[in-house]
Chain A
């Protein structure tokens, strides 16, 4: 066998194992969600008979529909807030010379601290302004907390915009801000989409802030709802699996649908 053959076989083997590992736990959730209690206790990978009743039951055990809505509203609101802040900020970090570079490192340092450090102070802040147990409060916190990630991803895109294009716009009488809006923004659009997707996933998947700031059912997110399904009883396995899939399916659909934008944006923005 040629060395190419061995290498090809080896790399394909590694990739096949990785792909199976990547989907296995979620496929097992699908299997569990379609099985009755006895079928689950018997163990094994596949259902002996398909049953759908775990799905409606999960929606009744916890207010899943409400939580799903909350998660979406919070994630979309947070992503919009992050984007509005991150665009001018990324322009500043990329084009602002030394102070831009300084702002960039401060933002990265802020991202490095574990969020649990900010939980108690933010709890008191939200309580003082009446935004605990509130969808708006969580959207604000998540949106601000994700700004460093968005700037990190966008900065590289802004750097690749040719300066000459902007200079031409200034000569035509545009202000710097108008140049950002009309020249830079359309060119960094792929990066903005990728950063938006990443920040959406981060806000949608967020758990620590959600569980700390929002105890009331009206503002609880899906991740908090899932964590409420605790307990080792087999009875709830099927429902727990169904509820977890309710959380997973939308992000998987979004990730697959937007795979090009996501992969392009992540890999181009992050590698400098």
Chain B
């Protein structure tokens, strides 16, 4: 008695089949065949699709761009999120209305986020035109250069996903036993000393878990790119997810190439997450 009945696994297995198993098998099949959106899997073509993906100017750099975006986006949102969580904790009291306001970016539809920031930063009609004229930098447009556009996208992404870190780390801070802080205070440790030497190690696992989650989310960035930059200027903000979509559904409809590209993207994401997981385990191991 008390054993979990096997049928309970069925809904989960069915979901996994549809969202993971089937897409993996068909994705691999598509990557090695010639296909169109109307007629998939027409003829086996060996590695042709991978060659096409490697030769594509837009896709070539997009894998690195995705990885850089994910790592920097994670660093930004974790840094800002931890700072906000520590500030909330230091303020004391309830999470309350202020907490809810801080969380709002997280529930905003990313497409709306993109529209809002794009309009905010617009060279004509934007919010900073007055400031820009006052400073005398007439031609300044953050989305005008490749570096500017990439940086802007990163900041917008961090704006949206910092709240998740704030929430997770704040919850972990609440879980730190009060006796620990009191003991540290009795031993003469000041606030910052207590924070770094006593509280920090206690919440480190939650910060790391939030960082991995942020890494996963940042690799998925798509909506923002479509709305804010469409991958430009040039290919400077063309991340891999966006390029795969464009290859498959916009313009060229190169289904086979797009499938090969998704396999390569999956590989890169897998490697980065594996390294992150390994680092996390090492940090956790060192603490114990």
Contacts and interface: CB of A to CB of B under 8 A. Distances in A.
Interface of A: 3-4, 7-8, 10-12, 14-15, 18-19, 21-26, 28-29, 32, 40-41, 43-45, 84-85, 88-89, 91-92, 95-96, 99-100, 103, 106-107, 109-125, 141, 144-145, 147, 151, 166-167, 170, 175-177, 201, 204-205, 207-208, 211-212, 222-223, 226-227, 229-230, 232, 234, 237, 240-241, 244-245, 247-248, 251-252, 254-256, 259, 262-263, 266-268, 270-271
B163 A22 contact: yes
A263 B125 contact: no
A170 B172 contact: no
Contacts of B18: 122, 125, 144
Nearest to A176: B5
A207 B124 contact: no
| Contact-residue bracket for chain B | 35 or more
Contacts of B52: none
Interface in B101-134: 101-105, 107-113, 115-117, 119-120, 122, 124-127, 129-130
B80 to A, nearest CB: 8
B3 interface: yes
Contacts of A124: 26, 40
A8 B22 CA distance: 54
Contact of B100 (A18, A151, A222, A256): A256
B2 A207 contact: no
B8 A91 contact: yes
A76 to B, nearest CB: 16
Given A119-B245, A267-B167, A267-B168, A255 B23 contact: no
A120 B259 contact: yes
A88 B9 CA distance: 8
Given A89-B8, A237-B119, A244-B112, 8 more contacts: A21-B159, A112-B269, A147-B15, A205-B108, A227-B111, A234-B122, A263-B103, A267-B171
A229 B220 CA distance: 23
A259 B101 CA distance: 10
A88 B227 CA distance: 38
Secondary structure call for the A interface: helix
A11 B2 contact: no
Interface stretch (B71-79, B88-96, B146-154, B279-287): B88-96
B11 A88 contact: yes
Given A26-B108, A89-B11, A15 B91 contact: yes
Interface string B223-242: 10011001000000000110
8 nearest interchain CB pairs? A267-B171, A43-B129, A121-B26, A11-B87, A118-B23, A25-B116, A11-B90, A121-B23
Interface in B35-87: 37, 40, 80, 83-84, 86-87
Contacts of A43: 124-127, 129-130
B191 A29 contact: no
A22 B104 contact: yes
Interface string B198-219: 0000000010010000001001
A207 B91 contact: no
Interface of B: 1-5, 8-9, 11-12, 14-16, 18-20, 22-23, 25-27, 30, 37, 40, 80, 83-84, 86-88, 90-91, 95, 98-105, 107-113, 115-117, 119-120, 122, 124-127, 129-130, 159, 163, 167-168, 170-172, 174-175, 190-191, 206, 209, 216, 219-220, 222-223, 226-227, 230, 240-241, 244-245, 248-249, 255, 258-259, 262, 265-266, 269, 273
Contacts of A7: 90, 191
Given A25-B117, A267-B168, A114 B265 contact: yes
Q: Which one of B108, B172, B262 has the highest number of Cβ atoms from chain A below 10 Å of its Cβ?
A: B108
Contacts of B111: 205, 207, 223, 226-227, 244, 247
A88 B1 CA distance: 17
Contact of B112 (A4, A170, A226): A226
A237 B4 contact: no
Contacts of B122: 232, 234, 237
B127 A44 contact: yes
A121 B109 contact: no
Most B CB atoms within 10 A — which of A21, A116, A144, A245? A116
Contacts of B115: 29, 226, 229, 240-241, 244
A205 B110 contact: yes
